[in-house]
Each structure stands twice: as C-alpha cells, then as structure tokens.
Amino acid sequence: MKKRLLSMTLAMAMTVGLLAGCSGGNGGSSGSGKSSSWKVTCPWAPSGVAAMVSQKTAAKSTQYSDNITLVAEAIAGDAATVNTWVMDTKANAPELVFVGEGLLSITSIIDPAKLQFTQDDFVFVENLYSSIFVLSAEASLNIKTIADLEAYVAQGNEISVAVNGAVGSEAFLAASLFGKMGAGDKLKLVAYQSAAEAAQAVAKGETQFAVSHQSQILETYQQGGVNIVCAFDEKAIENGPFAGVEGVGEKGYPYFRNRCFIMARAGTDEETVAQLKELYDKILADEEVVTWLQDTMLLEVDTMSQDDVNAHVENVKSIVNEYKDLVAGLSCQSVTIRGWDG
C-alpha cells in the first residue's frame, strides 16, 4: 500500500512538473523560450533625448513580454562607443545598440576613419523615434515663415546659425537650406558642444538663427525670445506646440529627420530579431508612451522597415555629399566652438 501511494505521489509530481514546463511561465505576449535580459546601449549622453526614450521604453518591456527584459544603458562616446560594441558583440548576443544617420550618413563620408564598422555589421530591429528639427530666428528679426526668410536672405544679409557640432545633422540642414537659397557665401555656422547650448544661442544674441530639436527651443519660444520659422520635414508639423509650422519640403528645400535605429549584431537569428521588433512595436504603440513622446519630448512615433532605413540613410548621404564642401569650408574658416577655444 505504501509503495502504491509513493508511486502515485511521484506520478502526480511529474505530471505537475510537465504541465508547468509546458505553460511557458506567466503567459506573456512576445516570443517564447527562456527569459533573457537585453542590454540596450545608447552611445550618447545619459541626459540626452535618446537615452531618456531608451529608459522609458525599457521600463515598459516586462509589461509586453515574459521572456525579454530590456535594460537601458548610456555610454557617451558616439562612434567610439559603437566601435567597441561591434568589436565585443557576437551574433545572437543579448545586446542592442543605437545608430543614427549621424554615423551612417555623415561620419561615414566626412570622417570615415572614425568608424570601425559599416551598416552591414548590424541587423535593423526598429526605429525608436523621429525628431523633426526646426529653424528658430531671433524675435527682433520678425521672420516667421519661409517667405520671410527668403526675403531676408535676398537682401544680402549676413547669416549666423547656431548648431550642435561643426559637422552634425544640424550643420548640414543649415548649410543645405541657406545654400539652396544661394546664401552659402553669407553663412556662418557657430558650433556648440551640446544641442541645448545651440538652441539657446539665439535668445542670448550670439546668433541670428539656430537649428535644434523642438523640445530644446520650446521654453525660449514660449518666453518670446524666438520665432519658429520652419521645420525640416516634408510638410507642416502636425502635433504639439509647433503644429502648423511649415515644412521646408513644401518649398523644395532638402530635409531629413533625426532618427534612432535600434540594431542587433549582424547574423542574429531572424526569429529573435522578429521578437524584438514585435516587443518594440507594442511598446511604441502604448498609449502612455505615445503621449509622453509627443507631448513631453516633442518626438514622433515612426516605426520603419529595412527599406525605410536604407532610403533615409541614402537621402542624408545625398545631402551630405552635395553640401560637404560648403560645411567643410565653414568649419575651417568661420566656425567658433563655444567652450573649446573661448
């Protein structure tokens, strides 16, 4: 009798164990298999836009997946950080990294020696966000539209524009806009060490214009220190406090958005990449995340495909190739690096 009871107990225990094993844990919605933590490396400042969005989305990961936990980490260093990531990361390692057009389309042309990788070293997962840059003008200039700006340029005025870095996205957007207006010989780029500093330069009277993210110029705009002239996008801004600001693309001027591509190491299993994309897509569709991105960060949810990424990278490269000589000349002759050389 005791042997029979013992046998029955063991059989029940085995059955419970098998059922637990088949249940897949707590019934999450993204992917299957064992749980894993994926470190998401942001190669820019911990206080920057990308790092803040990474923290927000990582915190949501356990809400939408049982087996993938995103862990955000910011290691400022830009190309150097990504170089190290590529060197240290193998295919299928639980590691992700952010890469944008700054590296893939600008540095790859202007200073390729800085890069120890190409786009082929990554497999695209998703685009974290899009940021539409805007051009602000000193309020006293009373320039509020592209037509106003064209009239100002036509008068032969000298033009000074604050940008983040001498050869960053903002520098090329400024050069392409004023260059296409025929004012390249009147243009002076004033490069700052941070996007926030560049955005505030106009209100301080250090420059007439600035190219910046919307969030970085919002407070100055609300205080009346600047006017927002235009957006570097295909059409007018649709959401937020700058809704209705016309896009330069409507007038035939070059443009591109700032995008943040989430990348895994090349060779990572397609199924794994699909699970990661599914997770990010669910997070980026979360109502709280969408509202926070649009209302607080003034960013766009802008999910993309690999073809979209390729088109974006090539568009920015075409602008860089067309205006690199202008930017290089400005960098050599007239750019002042505030905080570097006084």
Q: How confident is the model over 43-71, as pLDDT tens digits?
A: 998 988 999 999 999 999 999 999 999 99
Q: 189 near 161, Cβ under 8 Å?
A: yes
User: For residues 262 and 280, what is the distance between their CA atoms, to the nearest angstrom?
Assistant: 9
Query: Does pTM top 0.95 for this prediction?
Result: no
CA-based nearest residue to 279, from 125, 55, 83: 125
The pLDDT score that the predictor gives to residue 329 is 86
Local confidence band at 331 (pLDDT 50, 70, 90 cut-offs): low
DSSP, residue by residue, 156-224: T--EEEEEESTTSHHHHHHHHHHHHTT-GGGEEEEEESSHHHHHHTTTTTS-SEEEEEHHHHHHHHHTT
| 333 has pLDDT over 80 | no
- The mean of the pLDDT values for the chain is 89
In this structure, what token pair is assigned to residue 264? 């895994």
Of 43, 118, 110, 45, nearest to 79 (Cα)? 43
pLDDT category of residue 165 using cuts at 50, 70 and 90: confident
Can you give the pLDDT at residue 135? 98
Does the pLDDT of residue 241 top 60, yes or no?
yes
Which amino acid type is present at position 5? L
Q: Quick one: which of 52, 4, 56, 35 has its CA closest to 290?
A: 56
pLDDT of residue 341: 38
**Residue 284 to residue 178: CA distance in whole angstroms:** 35
Q: What CA–CA distances, in Å, run from 216 to 131, 135, 160, 167, 263?
A: 11, 12, 19, 19, 26
Q: Is residue 127 pLDDT above 50, yes or no?
A: yes
Cβ(95)–Cβ(41) under 8 Å? yes
Spatial separation of the C-alpha atoms in residues 171 and 187, rounded to whole Å: 11
Distance CA 115, CA 135 (A): 30
Query: H helices of the chain, where?
Result: 2-23, 49-64, 79-88, 101, 108-110, 146-154, 169-180, 195-200, 214-222, 270-284, 287-291, 306-333
Cα–Cα distance for residue pair 167/106, rounded to 1 Å? 8
Of the candidate ranges 56-60, 112-116, 193-197, 318-322, the one whose mean pLDDT is the lowest = 193-197
**Taking CA 39 as the corner, what is the angle to CA 287 and CA 124, rounded to the nearest 5 degrees?**
70
Of 43, 140, 36, which Cα lies nearest the Cα of 84? 43
Q: Would you kindly state where each structural domain of the chain is located, as residue ranges?
A: 36-131+257-304, 133-256+323-337
The CA distance from 35 to 17, in Å, is: 18
Rounded-to-integer distance, Cα 263 and Cα 95, Å:
9
Please state whether beta strands 336-337 and 187-192 pair in parallel, antiparallel, or not at all (unpaired): parallel
- What does the pLDDT read at residue 25? 38
Query: What's the alpha-carbon Rg for the chain, to the nearest Å?
Result: 24
Relative to beta strand 122-131, strand 258-265 is antiparallel
CATH of 133-256+323-337 among 3.40.190.10, 3.30.1300.10, 2.70.150.10, 3.30.200.20: 3.40.190.10
pLDDT at residue 308 tops 60: yes
Q: Which CATH architecture describes the domain 36-131+257-304?
A: 3-Layer(aba) Sandwich (3.40)
Q: Rounded to whole angstroms, what are the CA distances from 306 to 10, 30, 161, 194, 303? A: 52, 21, 34, 30, 10
Of 109-113, 141-145, 207-211, 338-342, least confident by mean pLDDT is 338-342
- Token pair for 290: 């969408």
Fold matches, 36-131+257-304 and 133-256+323-337: yes
* Lookup result for tokens 């206080």: 47
